[in-house]
Structures are given as structure tokens and as C-alpha cells.
Structure 1
Amino acid sequence: MDGFHDLGGVQGFGKVAHAIDTDSYKPVFHEDWEHLAYGLMFLGAAHLGKFSIDEVRHAVERIEFRQHAGTRYYERYVIASATLLVECGVITQEELDAALGAHFQLASPARSGGRPAITGRAPFEVGDRVVVRDEHVAGHIRAPGYVRGRQGVVLHRTTEKWPFPDAIGHGDTSAVHQPTYHVQFEVKDLWGDAADDGFVVVDLFESYLDKAPAGQAAGAPARPSRQPVAA
């Protein structure tokens, strides 16, 4: 689904504040409470086995736009985990409200049942030119909006396979396992000639990709065939 969480390539937000620590990756968390938010997610996913990490990601996507804009990264995972724990019957809305002393706003209900992976195709190989399927789905999807319909080159295919996010993100434990591909895109093919020279590498599941049509220019988006997907 497309929402506030997927802002890659969107203009008007100014420079992104960031810091690079060349000595260490620590501290992982910037505030003391953040590790508790992270732990809550794995309490539900691993210890209790009530949901998957992809379902947590989908719940983050379901957070109402204004609430999403007014919260920080780990706050969203508290909201998402709490939402799933309520939906799974581990805790109630009333218990959350009582603990908070006010109404705890959960994420919106899911509006999609997800979709299965594409199967029966030969895997892509390193060096293949591929195009990202230009799909807009109502449910969870892990293909960033800014690469959909764009062509890139496969740099790597993982040996490990994982459940297709669009299925497991909706609780489908029978989701087909697929490899992911490191696909390299030219920056100008994504954002036009006003962009700087360079490349962007995106990790994409197999079902998000097709072989690029022979003879089609790299920068030409495959948008005329766009079809909304009822997921």
C-alpha cells in the first residue's frame, strides 16, 4: 500500500538530518525507551508467535496519516505491535486505555487480504535487465513506489529465500518463499535529468520483477500497462 511511510523521491521535505559514526554502530537506540518498543515487537512475533514481522510492517502502514506524521520511528512500532496484540486477542482496547489514562489510538483495520506470489517462472540471473512491476495494491507491498515501472540491472540474487511479504504480511503462513534481488537503477532513470549522476540499489522480491522488454530504453517507464491490483 502507498502511504506516508513510502516517501522515497518525494520532494519538499528539505535535507535529511543524518550522522555517520565511523568508529562504531553504537548507540543503536537514541533514547532509553526505544529498546522497549523494539522488544515489544519481538515479544509478539517471536515469544508469543502471534504475528510476523511483515504483519508489523503492514500495521505501521495502516497508521492514520496524521498520527503517522506526528510520531517517531519507534513510536510507530509501539502502535503497530499494540494493534496486532489487540487484533490477536492478547490485550483489549480498554486495557490499553486504562494503562495510558487516555484513549490509545490504534492503526486502522486492514482493508485487504493480501495476495500470493507469482510462481512457475525461471529465476532472474545476474546481469539481467528487469523492470519493476508497476502495481498499486491495497495491502502490504515492499516495492518502493519510486522504482515501480522502472528498469534496472540485477547485481545479485540471494541464496536464502523468505516468505513473500504481500502474503505473510496479511497472516498467510503458507506464503511462497522467494529470493530477493539487488537491482541497480540509474538515478536519472528514476528522477530525470535534473538529478545527480549515480546509482541506487534496491532489494526486491522476485514477484516484483519482470524481464525488461527487449529494445526498450532503460529510462522508459512501463507505465502504460499499469493495472491497480485488488489485493
Structure 2
Amino acid sequence: MNGLHDMGGMDGFGPVQVEKREPVFHHRWERRVFGLVGGSATRRLAGPTDAFRFAIERMRPSHYLRASYYERWLTALATLLVEKGVVTREELVGRAGDSFPLSQPAPVLHIPTSARSQAPLFVVGDSVVVRNEHPSRHTRCPRYVRGKRGTIVRVDGAFRLPDVAAHRDVPCAEPAYSVRFSTRELWGTAAGATETIHVDLWQSYLEPA
């Protein structure tokens, strides 16, 4: 899913502000949110991690930009609990004493139900190109590598494909790889000539170069 959450390579947001001696939690409520998310995951109340990430991605852009890290966590958890019928929005508003913004509803999507092949199609040293796709569903393929050429540097085995796992509880393991990209391939001559980055990508994101 394209959105403001996928900010890699974006311009116009200014420098990253690094807080010296930053505490783990700035407010007591953040500690509670951390515990709520962990407890909900343990009891499987809100779905898998990929569904949680997709709920964050569905936040309205204006809300996402002004929200703190743990406010995004709280919004995602509350959204999933409402969608699964664990609580109602009215209950949340009643406890908050004011409005309680949730993420936007999930779009109607076609999600494959059959397991993909677990046989690796690539080996270390293979040149690959990232498919230039822009799905409405959750994906872990960042925009800045789409359509770009890279090299397989590690085969990681089969893992659940987030693009499916975020939406359906079905078998969906497929091979994942560490892919090396030249920063000039990604961002042009403004990048360093010898710099590279490594991105973990699933097999269905890739095709032979």
C-alpha cells in the first residue's frame, strides 16, 4: 500500500531530530499502550503483526503525520479491536471523553488463498529487478526499490508473505532474500559511488534482471 508511512527517499520533511538520552517512554500512557499491544498479540485479539502494520498504514495522512510513535500503535490496536468486535467505537469515545480517531476502513481486496511455491528461484549472485507494482493491500516492498536492479546476497528461507498474512490466515510462506542495491541505482549521481544498502524482499517482489 502506498502512503506516507513509506517515507524512504521522500524529500521535504527536514532532518531527523535525534533526542539525546531519549527515554523508552515519554509518557505513562505510552507504557500502557506497549503493554496492551503485547498482551493483545499474546491472546491473538488483534491479528498478526502484518495486520497491525496495515492498520497503521490506513491512518489518515494528516493524523499519521501529527501522531507520535505510540499514538500510531494505539490507533492501530483500537482499529483492529473495533473491526474484530472486541470493543465498539462508542465505548472508546466514552472512555476517552472526546473523539477517538481510528484508521480508515480496509479496502475490498482480492487476496490469494493458495500457498505459493516455497522453492527458491534465485541464488546468491543473481541479478534481479524489483517488480514495479503499487498494491492497495499491505506490502513490505518499499517504493524506493521498485523497478530497481539489485543483487541477491543471501537466501533466507521461507517466511509468511506479509501481503497475504495481513489480510488472511492462510498458508503463505515463500522464499525471502537479502538484496543489495547501489545507492546510485536508487537515487542517482547525488548518492555515493561506493555506497550500497541491503533490503529484505520476498520472492514475489522480484524477477530476473
Q: TM-score, normalised by structure 2?
A: 0.89
Instruction: Look up the match of 1:126.
Output: 124
Letter in 2 for 1:188: R
* Offset of residue 50 of structure 1: 3.8
Instruction: Look up the match of 1:203.
Output: 200
* Offset of residue 180 of structure 1: 1.9
Instruction: Look up the match of 2:138.
Output: 140
- The range that moved more, 108-117 or 173-182, is 108-117
Root-mean-square deviation over aligned CA pairs? 2.1
Q: TM-score, normalised by structure 1?
A: 0.81
- What pairs up with 1:1-231 in 2 under 5 angstroms? 1-18=1-18, 28-113=24-109, 115-116=111-112, 119=117, 122-159=120-157, 161-170=158-167, 172-197=168-193, 198-212=195-209
Q: SS of 1:192's equivalent?
A: helix
Q: SS of 1:153's equivalent?
A: strand
Task: Work out the number of aligned pairs and report it.
Answer: 206
Instruction: Give ranges in structure 1 of 5+ residues lacking alignment.
Output: 213-231
* Offset of residue 121 of structure 1: 5.9
Q: Deviations over 1:25-67 (max 9, x none)?
A: x954454433322222232222144411100000000000111
Instruction: Give ranges in structure 2 of 5+ residues lacking alignment.
Output: none
Alpha-carbon spacing, 1:201–1:106, altered in 2? closer, same or farther (3 Å): same
Whole-angstrom distance in 2 between the partners of 1:143 and 1:154: 15
Whole-angstrom distance in 1 between the partners of 2:174 and 2:118: 12
% identical aligned pairs: 41
Whole-angstrom distance in 1 between the partners of 2:92 and 2:99: 8
**Is the 8 Å Cα contact of residues 52 and 168 (structure 1) preserved in structure 2?**
yes
* Offset of residue 122 of structure 1: 4.0
Whole-angstrom distance in 2 between the partners of 1:163 and 1:56: 15
